[in-house]
Amino acid sequence: MFNRGMRHAAFLALGLLSTACGEQEVATQQLQALAPDEASGLENDAVYHSQYPKGQTFQVRLAGLDTPVTAVLKGNYAFVGDQVIGEVSGTQVISADKQVILRLDGDTQVGAMGSGIVNATGQKWPGGVIPYEIDPAASAETRSAFAGAKADYDAKTSIRWVPRTNQADYVRIVTSDGCWSYVGKIGGRQDLSLGAGCGVNPARHELGHAVGLAHEQVRQDRDSWVTVNAGGSQNAIDWGSAGTPIGSYDFESMMHYRNYFVNGRWDYVPKNGFPPEQVGNDRVNTFTPGDLGAIRAIYGGGTTTGVCFYADSDYKGESFCATSDSAWVGTQWNDRISSVKVSPGYEYTLFNDINFAGSGLGCGCDVPNLTQYNFNDLTSSFRIKRP
């Protein structure tokens, strides 16, 4: 399950950071040996593990790691756990940084080509703005998970997921086999899958990958913070540390792997006394301060600044933020605003006609539902007073 964490950017790392999400299955006897709560947690993770892509395997070296890791070839993609490292192009598998990492002969793999070292680290999205489109065939479950995770990014970070118009670089949200994503912006269209079982928490994790975050437990200083026990439930891929760390190790980050208790020991044993049963994001189930700090370190700014407008009540749905007046909110947003969140010191006045005309509503406060002021879906222009 993606109760995982990390606090470094893959595009700031030495190479693509590895993951073990797709390779492990939890044995029945291991579940039976655990306490009920622990067994339940592992069962939940086993459900998620069953959703991760599985297929033909091959070995590939990731930049920053000394030994090869196991990648999976399924459909048109090559995966390391939940992270996409390449796509099939004809009889080749091409990494995100345009290296040939595998040649294909029908259904038979021939082998890794070239240096065999993948350095597909991705890039920052300019201004923290990520254009997206949702595949028309995406399921209702996929759409709901994406909307919930997007609302969390909108409300708590400077990242803006915006509907794509004609942008060349964008993320396409699809319903595919499992929960997976590229890391950072690779250029052109890049798919992000929220398959069956991928709820809001896994979606937040996958959107984090697209933003540029990799897994916490592969940061360069990992071994200074935790002891990793071999032979547990996690794939050996996690033994390789890579990536530029930001801030202190975050045991509860949304990008950190869940901590399993298998064969009488924890996979990750914190060296500073942090409770091992709390490693992972299950208890937090949202961004940690460390997650938010990492995003700020990469993209600048803080949480949303100014006045933010949301299409749905309770600060959900599509959104945008502003720090200055607008005499016309545009056809996309005219008469389509249902809730408002305001940064400290800002004030706003909403008008139901363009050019600051018609009925108005002024406040320096958050309004979770404009219906209470009979102003739901009426905004056509607004004025903003800065602190």
Q: Enumerate the active-site residues.
A: 206
Token pair of 134 as six digits: 């949702």
For 294, residues 6+ apart whose C-beta sits below 8 A from its C-beta are: 6, 7, 8, 9, 213, 246, 247
Q: What is the DSSP letter of 327?
A: S
Per the DSSP assignment, residues forming a β-bridge with 320 are 309
Helices (H) and strands (E) in the chain, counts: 6, 23
Q: Which residue carries 């009979």 as its tokens?
A: 374
Query: Does 256 carry a binding-site annotation?
Result: no
CA dist 179 to 167, 205, 284, 307, Å? 24, 9, 20, 33
Query: Does 205 carry a binding-site annotation?
Result: yes
CA dist 112 to 18, 183, 365, Å? 17, 21, 58
Q: Which amino acid does the sequence have at 225?
A: W
From the CB of residue 153, how many other CB atoms can be counted at a distance below 10 Å?
Answer: 22
Beginning with the edge strand found earlier in the chain, give each strand of the sheet holding 381-385 in spatial order. Answer: 357-363, 347-353, 381-385
d(CA 25, CA 235): 10
Query: Does 49 carry a binding-site annotation?
Result: no
Q: Which residue carries 């006394």 as its tokens?
A: 273
Where does the chain have alpha helices with state H? Answer: 28-32, 36-51, 140-156, 200-211, 222-225, 289-299
At 110, which helix (H) or strand (E)? strand 108-111
CA dist 139 to 82, 134, 209, Å? 19, 10, 21
Pairing assessment for the beta strands 77-80 and 160-163 based on DSSP bridges:
unpaired
Q: Which residues are annotated as a binding site for Zn(2+)?
A: 205, 209, 215
Q: Which residues are annotated as a binding site?
A: 205, 209, 215
